[in-house]
Homo-oligomer: A and B are copies of this chain.
Amino acid sequence: MKTVTEAEVLALIKENRSFVLTAHVSPDGDSLGSLLALYEFLTSQGKQVTIVLDDILPPVYRILPHWEAIRSVDEVGRINADLLIILDASTADRIGRVGEIVHAPTLNIDHHVSNRGFTDHRWLDADAAATGELIYRLIEKAKASLTKEMAINLYTAIATDCGFFRYANTKPATMRIGAELLAHGAEPNVIAEALETVSMNTMRLTVRALQTMAFFAEGKIAIITVTKDMLANDESTDELITYPRKIEGVDVAVMLKQRDDSSVKVSMRSRTVDVSQVALQFGGGGHARAAGCSIEGSIEEAREKLLAVILPKVGE
């Protein structure tokens, strides 16, 4: 694997003609916005570009210009290209079957500190809040024109990964790029409204899950529980942990999500307790303020085992 700079990425683009672009499965705003902005940039340079993704595009992302250009693995079949550019993925398995169908040298553009270096070329900047920041810098360095469509895709990319400029990874450079994207026509309210839309089923699940909220250690621990009976359709549980987390006085917020009758998935967020240490005791991992693990047993057993570890840490 060869580490490359921004300038070397532009050289790779210049000297090649046909490109396949891909990103990780379970696509999010950063991977999709980055893909579509890079797609437009390469197309504007007269390149032949195919986007292939081994996953379904969640409908909310149909606000992103050029989304119709995204092809599935089955649609594309086997394909040769001068360069396969892999965005926002830090390991080879994150792109699903795309690696099997594309025959091309590979370039990885990413911002994850956990990046494993699995391609021929890699441009990694772990200080960037989003891969979208890197694509912006590329377009700027190429002195290509930044269209309104690119601005929408890149604002979506960046806003997704820094939680609309609320997370700790938001740097001055992140916001300066955001300002430029607004100046080029991105509308933050339109993007925010689309990204925050939830399905009726997800809202119904949210209401049911919130009703399960239970407090321990004088309100320092809050637990919500999602049993498998509550999951009927395509509900998202991604945002549920944010509810117990924002309650005044809660240090450790927990979501218990039943996988099956003998296994429970645990997500934890905290204000002061190092929850990665809690997760480690059950074979999981993560960061001090956000971690997860799986615990064998019923919901009740998992809750007991978990509380036995967390209670001493909140001073009970």
Contact = CB atoms under 8 A, between A and B. Distances in A.
Contacts of A219: 200
Contact of A168 (B159, B187, B198): B187
Contact of A207 (B163, B192, B196, B210): B210
Given A168-B187, A188-B165, A246-B197, A179 B182 contact: no
A50 to B, nearest CB: 30
Contacts of A206: 210
A248 B197 contact: yes
A79 B176 CA distance: 43
Given A172-B179, A179-B179, A167 B196 contact: no
Nearest to A207: B210
Instruction: Please tell me the size bucket of the interface on A.
Output: 35 or more
Nearest to A183: B172
Given A165-B164, A207-B211, A170 B182 contact: yes
A173 interface: yes
A58 to B, nearest CB: 11
B211 A188 contact: no
B172 A175 contact: no
Interface in A61-81: none
A129 B85 CA distance: 39
A118 interface: no
A164 B188 CA distance: 10
B166 A189 contact: yes
A101 interface: no
A219 B249 CA distance: 36
Contacts of A176: 175-176, 179
A188 B180 CA distance: 20
B188 A166 contact: yes
Interface string A200-213: 10010011001101
Contacts of A211: 207, 211
Contacts of A207: 207, 210-211, 213
A181 to B, nearest CB: 9
A119 to B, nearest CB: 32
Contacts of A192: 163, 166-167
Nearest to A215: B200
Contacts of A282: none
A178 interface: yes
Contact of A247 (B171, B199, B243): B199
A277 B248 CA distance: 38
Given A175-B176, A175-B179, 4 more contacts: A170-B189, A197-B246, A203-B246, A203-B247
Interface of A: 159, 163-168, 170-176, 178-180, 182-183, 187-189, 192-193, 196-200, 203, 206-207, 210-211, 213, 215, 219, 243, 246-249, 271
